């Protein structure tokens, strides 16, 4: 990671710690700029920043555990006490503004430099790093425990069922994905049914895939939407199996 600060009078590329993100880069760029201008005679200083979170942090009077934020606030207050006007102006990034593009280029140069300073990791970054590590450990655990299980497909993002589906559709898709509930193959696997053959057509094991090809469900309308269609097949099959059981 790196930071870059640019003006017509000076420029600087700064290497940052491996854990630094865009917020940290902008914050260190502001700190470097403030150090450059603190002895200047200009009465009005405008810092163009493309990270609104940094501007909010520096403009707030609330306590902050980030040492760089504290340092920047102190530098700004010192400039103001000397009768100078300090303006933190947001500027959209990657819009072709020459000065901003140059600062981005300097930041990339900074990222290539070796980082040698010892910086205490801010609480915000520590929480982020811990959260990422815990997520990685959790996913590894699920992957190990889910191997060979019916719910193993749910570990893949491509198999995740959208959370905004109607409840009946979401429930049906979830049950079909893991192969649970009334599907005959599952009932046979857990010792409830004598075999896994579909009781509606008596052809092949009753699995999720079978429902889409079951001749006894050929009259179920096909909507073209995989989730709605799957749910329609699921609930129709369940209803017809229940009717046969009553008879």
Mean pLDDT of 135-162: 79
Residues contacting 155, CB < 8 A, separation 6+: 139, 142, 143, 146
pLDDT band at 247 (very low <50, low <70, confident <90, very high): very low
pLDDT band at 94 (very low <50, low <70, confident <90, very high): low
pLDDT band at 142 (very low <50, low <70, confident <90, very high): confident
User: What would the pLDDT profile of 117-137 be if each residue is shown by its tens digit?
Assistant: 666 777 887 888 899 899 989
List domains and CATH numbers for the chain: 2-127 (3.30.420.10), 155-246 (no CATH)
Check pLDDT > 80 for residue 157: no
pLDDT band at 229 (very low <50, low <70, confident <90, very high): very high
Tokens of 28: 């260190």
Would you state the pLDDT for residue 8? Answer: 79
Check pLDDT > 90 for residue 167: yes
Mean pLDDT of 53-73: 89
The strand pairing partners of 64, in sequence order, are none
Check pLDDT > 50 for residue 237: yes
Check pLDDT > 60 for residue 246: no
Count CA atoms within 13 Å of residue 51 on its CB side: 17
Mean pLDDT of 164-182: 87
DSSP output for the chain:
-EEEEE-SS-EEEEE--TT--HHHHHHHHHHHHHHHHTT---SEEEEEES-HHHHHHHH--S----HHHHHHHHHHHHHHHTT-EEEEEE--SSS--HHHHHHHHHHHHHHHSPP-S--PPPHHHHHHHHHHHHHHHHHHHHHHHHTTSTTGGGGSGGGPPPTTS-HHHHHHHHHHHHT-TT-HHHHHHTTSSS--B-TTT-SSB--HHHHHH-GGGTTSPP-S-HHHHHHHHHHHHHHHHHHHHH-
Mean pLDDT for the chain overall = 84
Check pLDDT > 80 for residue 215: yes
Mean pLDDT of 54-82: 90
Check pLDDT > 70 for residue 150: no
Would you state the pLDDT for residue 201? Answer: 92
Would you state the pLDDT for residue 77? Answer: 92
Tell me what percent of the residues of the chain surpass a pLDDT of 70: 94
């Amino acid at each position: 990671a790196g930071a870059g600060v640019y003006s017509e009078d000076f420029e600087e590329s700064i290497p940052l710690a491996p854990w630094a993100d865009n917020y940290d880069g902008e914050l260190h760029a502001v700190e470097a700029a403030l150090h450059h201008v603190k002895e200047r005679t200009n009465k009005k200083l405008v810092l163009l920043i493309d990270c609104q979170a940094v501007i909010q942090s520096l403009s707030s009077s609330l306590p902050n555990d980030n040492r760089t934020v504290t340092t920047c606030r102190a530098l700004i207050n010192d400039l103001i006490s000397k009768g100078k006007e300090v303006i933190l102006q947001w500027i959209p990034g990657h819009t072709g503004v020459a000065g901003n593009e140059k600062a981005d280029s300097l930041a990339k140069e900074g990222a290539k430099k070796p980082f040698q300073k010892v910086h205490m990791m801010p609480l915000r970054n520590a929480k982020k790093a811990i959260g990422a590590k815990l997520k990685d450990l959790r996913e590894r655990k699920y992957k190990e425990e889910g191997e060979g299980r019916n719910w193993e497909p749910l570990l893949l993002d491509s198999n995740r069922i959208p959370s905004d589906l109607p409840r009946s559709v979401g429930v049906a898709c979830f049950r079909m994905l893991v192969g649970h509930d009334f599907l005959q193959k599952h009932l046979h696997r857990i010792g409830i049914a004598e075999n896994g053959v579909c009781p509606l057509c008596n052809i092949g094991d009753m699995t999720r895939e079978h429902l889409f090809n079951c001749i006894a469900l050929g009259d179920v309308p096909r909507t073209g939407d995989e989730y709605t269609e799957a749910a329609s097949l699921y609930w129709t099959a369940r209803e017809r199996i229940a009717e046969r059981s009553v008879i």
